[in-house]
Structure 1
Amino acid sequence: MRTRTKLVVSAVVVLVVAVAANRLWPKAESKKTAGPLGIPVHVVPVKQQDVPRFISGIGTVLSLHSVVVRPQIDGVLTELLVKEGQWVKAGDLMAKIDDRAIRASLDQAKAQLGQAQAQLHVAEVDLKRYKLLSVDDGVSKQTLDQQQALTDQLKATVLGNQASIAAAQVQLSYTQIRSPVAGRVGIRNVDAGNFLRVSDAQGLFSVTQMDPIAVEFSLPQNQLPTLQQLLNAPSPARVNAYLSDHEQTGTLLAQGQLRLIDNQVSATTGTLRAKAEFTNGAQTLWPGQLVTVKVQTAVDQGALVVPPQVVQRGLEQYFVYRVNGDKVDSVPVKVLHQDSELTIIQGVQPADIQAGTVLVRDGQSRLKPGAKIEVLSDEPAAATAQVQP
């Protein structure tokens, strides 16, 4: 009985071992036949395009003409003909000052001129008669000389009266305040009915030209040769004004042209001031506003461009990982230009890097020359980003 029981137990054990071996064997065989897994990476092709180069600085928007309107004579402000924020043209009438006293003075000067002209006319007639009589000694030479002096005196009186009229007319013109420039009226400081004085420093309001407008900015002094070259170029250098310091995320406010550089370098900061002029019909630039200025210095024609993270820094030189089938090669490159958005590269051997060459963009930390890779697609990440609320 015991012998039969041992046989049954042995048979059960053998059966269990056989089943377990049968289940484990395919997995072991599968692991044995499966090749090594590739290192996951993202790749990007090399692009060939024209790349403009820029130098950047922080600038302040300035009006080309900004005028504080002040009275040129003392008097009561009788009328304001413009509103705050109104756009005016050069020569537009903006305000009036009481002119009654000046008009009275002008009328008086005109009356005095008429009287002096009448007296001069009589004196000239007498002088002419005396000259005829003096030929036959009909009148003494003394009388002729006195008449000549009287005529000259009356001529001077006429000239003085004419000057008085001109001065009164100038004073009268000051009672009508006109805009000296085309621009936008600022906040009003004085209401109609107030007595204005020439010595008032505050002024009535300001008129600021908005279009065109300028931006003044500073650049390091080592950019002086570049700026001089740009100013001497046949066509003005392009200047972009942005709301922030990053061209991709910032708002482009306006595009203008480089106009001038200052005549000296600041000894304190080692910077050089420059000025650009912008068309500002949409009023995107406002006087006093701080903007980021980018001056285009050159254009790299047909440059080979990759994202900045593609290029790796070695002990002696830069290099990139080039995709070769399911493996990668390490290729040394030269970095011709680099910023936060792109890098211009060139192979040490020009044939190594060309337009369309596929390079590793992410995942370089685990790579080495000859390593096997698995290229990941960017589409799932993009799809996930679209699904997120």
Structure 2
Amino acid sequence: MDKPTRDPSEAPAHEAAGRQGGPRGGSRRRLLLWGTALVGAAVIAAAFLRPHTHTTGGSGRHGHQAVGDAQPVAVATVHPGDMPIELTELGTVVPITNVTVQPRVDGYLMQVLFTEGQHVKKGDLLALIDTRPYEVALAQYQGQLASDIAQLQQARVDNDRYQRLVRQNSIATQTAQDQQYKVAQLEGTVKVDQAMVDNEKLQLVYCHVIAPVDGRVGIRQVDMGNYVTAGQTNGLVILTQMQPISVIFTLPETELGAVAERLRTGIALPVAAWDSTNTRKIADGTVSVLDSQIDTSTGTVRLRSIFTNQDETLFPNQFVNAHLLVNTQHNVLLVPTNAVQTGPNGPFTYVVKPDKTVEVRDIKTGATHGDVVVAASGLKDGDVVVTDGTDRLHAGSKVTIPAAADARTGTDTKTGADTKAGTDNGSRSGAQGRQ
């Protein structure tokens, strides 16, 4: 049996009303959902952003320090040791002997017997200049010498005869005297001839250019076949003594007294040559001489130090940093330089007490070498000082020491390497604590 159909116009009044009000009800529900979501987000944000303070032994209002407020630090232990008193000055490598090998005669360069950069010994033959013109001149002067010697011999024979005749009153006295003068004249001529012969022999020697000192030859200035002259500009080659070699550096006049006193006692002052960046030691040597006067324009005095330079790590005109060891202080208290702070009253350190709080200790410092400084007063052997993490410390601050650094505190401070390791660990731990 078919169900009767209902005309939509005959629907109940509440259904029609529900259909008419549907869109407005949906908007209210969406607004309600969004509001609920925003409130929940605000609650969650407040929960995460609200500071959490866990206290022990009472609340923060009663003055008890929170565990979370303890500052992670790196520490080191003050210990006795030796402190070198060292001066670092600018220096230049200067050869003890630096020779420009010059030709001493004129002529064509027939042979070059050295290789550029070669090490030669004193007396080694370096080059040969054409000897033929000087050999010809030598033969000429030798002939002239022989002729004059013959004339001298004849004049002496005649002089002997004239002296006998004058005693016999056979010739005039004037004739005998003239013959004596002729002999003396010819003796002088022979000496001149002999000097000319010797000079030509010397020129032949100068044709052979030899090394005047031991050293290393540089780049040759003249090639074989060129005509060279005595004393020409730049010479043939530059010969530099490499072993030993010296470093000349300047010393402030304010430091002159201590250095001069040590030199007068005959004690050798060690000098270490470091590279231009002052990060790598090149060689070790000793001071050889102190200059005789102070340069008034700079207020410094020059010193020369000698280095064996067996491996030739020092090169002429090289710029170096000269580390001069003047003295050594023994059994002084040493503290890392990064533990020393500067305040209104001067230098001070944070000393860690047994209860893991710090106190501010005013100190006086002495000589510094590398990353260590002498504690002249204010500290004692065994004091534990803060080396890193001092930015938020004050007297009475609670600190924490990382386990690795704490374990090293009593054992590693005799060596700078372990102390530095503890400092690095403390730095990393302090950074994590601040984060």
- SS of structure 2 residue aligned to 1:283: coil
**CA-CA distance at 1:129 after TM superposition:** 2.9
Q: Is the 8 A contact 1:326 1:374 kept in 2?
A: no
TM-score (norm 2): 0.74
Distance 2:218 2:207 in 1: 21
C-alpha distance in 2 between matches for 1:74 and 1:211 = 32
Counterpart check, 1:353 vs 2:342: no
Q: Distance in 2 between matches of 1:148 and 1:317?
A: 99
Mapped pair 1:292 → 2:292:
no
Report the 3-state secondary structure (helix = DSSP H, G, I; strand = E; otherwise coil) of the residue aligned with 1:306.
Answer: strand
Asked whether the equivalents of residues 338 and 371 of structure 2 are also in contact (C-alpha less than 8 Å), the reply is no
Query: 1:199 offset after TM fit, Å?
Result: 5.5
Per-residue displacement from partner, 1:112-158 (whole Å, max 9, x unpaired)? 22222222222223322332333222333222112212211211111
Q: Return 5+ residue gaps in structure 2 as ranges.
A: 1-51, 59-64, 406-420, 429-435
Distance 1:199 1:66 in 2: 16
Give the Cα separation in 2 of the matches to 1:147 and 1:272: 69
Counterpart of 1:22 in structure 2 is: none
Larger Rg: 2
The aligned counterpart of 1:170 is 202
Q: Which range moved further: 43-52 or 120-129?
A: 120-129
| Residue identity opposite 2:384 in structure 1 | V
Partners of 1:184 and 1:206 lie apart in 2 by 8
Q: Secondary structure at the match of 2:311?
A: coil
Query: Counterparts of 1:35-184 in structure 2 under 5 Å?
Result: 36-37=66-67, 38-184=70-216
SS of equivalent to 1:215: strand
Q: Which moved more, 1:149-158 or 1:319-328?
A: 319-328
Match of 1:182, as an amino acid? D
Selected match of 2:330 from 301, 305, 316: 301
Structure-1 residue corresponding to 2:361: 331
Q: Which residues in structure 2 correspond to 1:13-28 (within 5 Å)?
A: none
CA distance in structure 2 between the aligned counterparts of 1:195 and 1:148, rounded to whole angstroms: 49
SS of 1:228 mapped into structure 2: helix
Following the alignment from structure 2 to structure 1, what is the Cα–Cα distance between the partners of residues 254 and 343? 29
In structure 1, give the amino acid aligned to 2:221. Answer: N
How far did residue 293 of structure 1 move?
A: 1.1
CA distance in 2, matches of 1:45, 1:151: 99
Helix, strand or coil: the match of 1:364? coil
Aligned partners of 1:106, 1:233: CA distance in 2, in Å? 58
Percent identity between the two aligned chains: 34
Q: Which residue of 1 aligns with 2:391?
A: 365
Tell me the secondary structure at the aligned position of residue 366 of structure 1. Answer: coil
Alpha carbons 2:94, 2:246 under 8 Å: kept = yes
User: 1:345 Cα deviation (Å)?
Assistant: 0.4
Partner Cα distance (2:56, 2:137) in 1? 117
What's the secondary structure of 1:189's corresponding residue? coil
Offset at 1:252? 1.0
The gaps in structure 1 that reach 5 residues or longer are: 1-27
Residue by residue over 1:2-22, the C-alpha shift from the partner in whole angstroms, topping out at 9 and shown as x without a partner, is: xxxxxxxxxxxxxxxxxxxxx
Residue 313 of structure 1: aligned partner: 342
Q: Tell me, what secondary structure is at the counterpart of 2:223? A: coil
1:369 to 1:32, Cα distance in 2 relative to 1, 3 A:
closer
- In 2: Cα distance, 1:98 partner to 1:31 partner: 102
Deviations 1:42-74 (A, max 9, x none): 111223221211122221111111111121111
Task: Within 5 Å, give how 1:166-245 maps onto structure 2.
Answer: 166-198=198-230, 200-245=232-277
The answer for the alignment partner of 1:260 in structure 2 is: 289
Q: Distance in 2 between matches of 1:360 and 1:32?
A: 26
Residue identity opposite 1:139 in structure 2:
I
Distance (Å, rounded) in 2 between the aligned partners of 1:325 and 1:366: 20
- 1: distance between equivalents of 2:195 and 2:79? 77
| 1:251 maps to which of 280, 301, 307 | 280
Distance 2:214 2:227 in 1: 27
CA-atom RMSD in angstroms? 2.5
Query: Larger % of strand: which?
Result: 1
- SS of residue matched to 1:365: coil
Shift of 1:367: 3.0
Structure 2 counterpart of 1:325, one-letter code: P
